[in-house]
Structure 1
Amino acid sequence: MDKMKVTYEVMLGLAAEMVWDAALRKHRSEQLYDEIDKALASGDEVAFRSLTDELRLIIS
């Protein structure tokens, strides 16, 4: 039974990591969309390209 408990705890830990990772990616994506909008509004092409490159990495 102890081995099953350890396995269960490891699986719970992995599931928690997956949820945490997804939340972080979603939060950063939302930040990037806001920053991209601001870069477009101000005409900052360098920032726009940099931010969209980062967003592509997160999405893929």
Structure 2
Amino acid sequence: MDKMKVTYEAMLGLAAEMMLDEVVLKFRKDRLYQAIDEALISGDRDTFQRLTEELKLLHV
């Protein structure tokens, strides 16, 4: 029974870590989209290109 409990706790920890990673990634993407929109509005081409490259890396 103890081995099953340890395995179960490890699986719960892994699931929690995966969920946290997903939430952090979504937050980062949302922030990048917002910053990209602001760069487009202000006409800041360099920032736009840098941010879109960073966004592409998150999609890999």
Structure 2, unmatched stretches of 5+, are: none
Give per-residue Cα distances to partners, 1:7-46, cap 9 Å, x unaligned.
1100000000000000000011011000000001111111
What is the TM-score with the length of structure 1 in the denominator? Answer: 0.94
Number of the residue aligned with 1:14: 14
Question: How far apart in 2 are the matches of 1:43 and 1:25?
Answer: 26
2:36 corresponds to: 36
After TM superposition, give the deviation of residue 57 of structure 1 in Å. Answer: 1.1
Structure 1 runs of 4+ aligned residues shifted over 4 Å read: none
What value does the CA root-mean-square deviation take over the aligned residues? 0.7
SS at match of 2:54: helix
State the number of aligned residues. Answer: 60
- Rounded to whole Å, the distance in 1 between the matches of 2:21 and 2:58 is 11
Consecutive unaligned residues of structure 1, counting only runs of 5 or more, are none
